[in-house]
A and B are shown apart, each in its own frame.
Chain A
Amino acid sequence: MAAAGGRTLGRSSFSRATSNLVASSSGASGVKIGPNGASFVSSGIPDLDRILGGGFLLGSVVMIMEDTDAPHHLLLLRCFMSQGVVHKQPLLFSGAMKEPVLFLGTLPAPVSSSKEDGRHRAMGPAASSDGRANDEGLRIAWQYKKYFGDDKTSRAEHKDNKQEFSNDFDLRKPLERHLLNGQNIECVSTQDADTLSSLQDCCSAFVSKLPRKDGGSSTAGRIAIQSLCAPQCRYFEKDWDMVSFIRSLKAMVRSSNSVAVVTFPSTVLSNSFCKRWQHLADTLLSIKAIPDEDKDLAKLLTGYQDMVGFLHVHKVAQPNSQVPVILEASTLSLKLRKRRSLVLERLNQAPVDGSSGPSSAASSSCSSQGSQLDF
């Protein structure tokens, strides 16, 4: 089910085998070497890393289109930033708020591994080497995999207890203060800035400390920009300045060992500028909250109660290749497992209730939601 979901298709066969390389081999903390000379950092959500083929690509710009009503993009941004703090990577945060430093107080803490349940770890990248050995032996139906999970988890923990590529984060527990204090963290407020030049200077200063090395052993930096084109910013009207900023951000990030995540409310931009922003993104995601108490949807999808939103993957960064990544499913449900950590799953259509006119009910609900979901 979830284990098979979102795995990439359409890659050439020679790049497939190396994509499971484990983080600890590369030297730098929290950096994973992938195929085609790519290196990845974790997005902070293990499922998202797996779907994107390893994580966020170093040297790329990730753009997240926000939902108009709900702040779900902040979940992704928090996980991304927390993961960087846990890995002791330099972080630059810019937000459309008065005191962006306060946002750091809301970062989630990693789930301590003793409490970790095995099901998830068995699918995480740390355990993939074990998983592969398992595949060669008997094939076990996926329902029974959970019974083998505990055993596998303990082994994986012993192996790389020091540094994991990605952690699960407990959204209810704030990150410990001492982690934030000793870190290389910069915060910039974009709310009162008249132009983007100060942010641009900050970014270039930040990026210049992280030169790109071919060996891939230098530390990776993370730039997180929240709501770049928020209407409360004074530069909001200057569409061209914003596009130009993203272009120069892209150029800066390309030549350095860092990744930039930019969230933006796409609906406040005009159509053509929204498209420009999307073209400039290397990885493009959009997030949508799901309405409470949508009876049609609840009938259509299993596990509707746990869902908080949908994540749509529009574009996946392709390092040094022209072949587009075609995912098995591009719309995924964002769920809170045990109300704590984020997981992504493929949408599963609920079995139709036979008693209440099955075919007509199913087809009508399908068509009513057709614009939102694609199966």
Chain B
Amino acid sequence: MEEHGAEDLLCEAMGSAAQVVVVEDCVEAPGAFVLHLLLKRALAGCGSAAFLALAQPFSHYDRVLRKMGCNLSLHRRNERLHFFELLGFPGGAREGTIADSFALLYNEIQRLVEANRAGENEGQFTIVIDDASLLEVVALGSVSDVLDFLHYCFTLTSEMNCKLVILIHEDIYANEENMGLLLHLRYIADLVIKAAPLSTGLAADVHGQLAVVNKGTFSEQRAKAQKVWNFHFKVKENGADFFYPGSRH
């Protein structure tokens, strides 16, 4: 009972209408679990998703999500999940090839989104990117190519009414001169979920804290609603616990 209520804390903070969600994390507090939760939510009901996996192979996500009660292999076979295994995504040395391979990737995604829209089961389509920092590595530091690609994906949210979930490692962009990508993502985001370690250090029952910033630009009636949420989390195999500081012992 308590767990059900606690899981709602993130859902409540997120609202329902956010189209672009940016998850920020750092070395000390990995935020991949938020991505897993959002992927599970995206596939629930009759939604479908495109997952750009640059960080881990499919078997990893499959096993993790299976423990959370979501069978990725099955979704993949039913063509609800379109998994792009990009661990060895070509990071060519020449300028043109990177832009070209991004363009090919985008075309593929666009085709999927259009097919989903044309199909009879019109569910919500979600694009999940794990993670944007690695896109930059793929492009060998060419931020403009990455920004182009992300912007194209972003246009799909308004044109095709699909959602975008992006993970980014925030601590890489702590310096002022290379903040471009992070600032851009924060700008297009409706919702920023930021994972951070506790300032008091590591703990076995609190793995860190989440700050959810709801920009509230997507619906006027939520203007009165709370805009910033802060709570602690504990990651479990089958999900995560969210709770206010001090509300558990």
Contact = CB atoms under 8 A, between A and B. Distances in A.
A36 B237 CA distance: 11
A82 interface: no
Contacts of B63: 36-37, 320-321
B184 interface: no
B27 A315 contact: yes
Given A240-B137, A276-B172, A314-B27, 17 more contacts: A9-B204, A12-B236, A37-B63, A244-B138, A247-B137, A247-B138, A254-B57, A271-B174, A272-B178, A275-B27, A278-B27, A284-B27, A314-B28, A320-B63, A322-B33, A322-B235, A324-B207
A10 B140 contact: no
23 contacts: A9-B204, A10-B205, A241-B140, A244-B137, A247-B137, A247-B138, A251-B88, A271-B174, A272-B173, A272-B175, A276-B137, A276-B172, A279-B27, A279-B133, A279-B172, A314-B27, A320-B63, A321-B237, A322-B33, A322-B235, A324-B30, A326-B202, A327-B202
Interface of A: 9-10, 12, 36-37, 239-241, 243-244, 247-248, 250-251, 254-255, 270-272, 275-276, 278-279, 284, 314-315, 319-324, 326-327, 330, 374
A276 B207 contact: no
B16 interface: no
Nearest to A276: B172
B141 interface: yes
B201 A374 contact: yes
A243 B87 CA distance: 13
B49 to A, nearest CB: 18
Given A279-B172, A322-B32, A330 B202 contact: yes
Contacts, number: 85
B203 interface: yes
Nearest to A9: B204
Among A9, A10, A241, A250: residue with most chain B CB under 10 A: A10
A194 to B, nearest CB: 13
Nearest to A10: B204
Contacts of A314: 27-28
Contacts of A12: 236-237
A323 B134 contact: no
Nearest to A254: B57
A255 B57 CA distance: 9
B169 interface: yes
Given A272-B175, A276-B133, A240 B141 contact: yes
B239 to A, nearest CB: 9
B8 interface: no
A323 B172 contact: no
B9 to A, nearest CB: 18
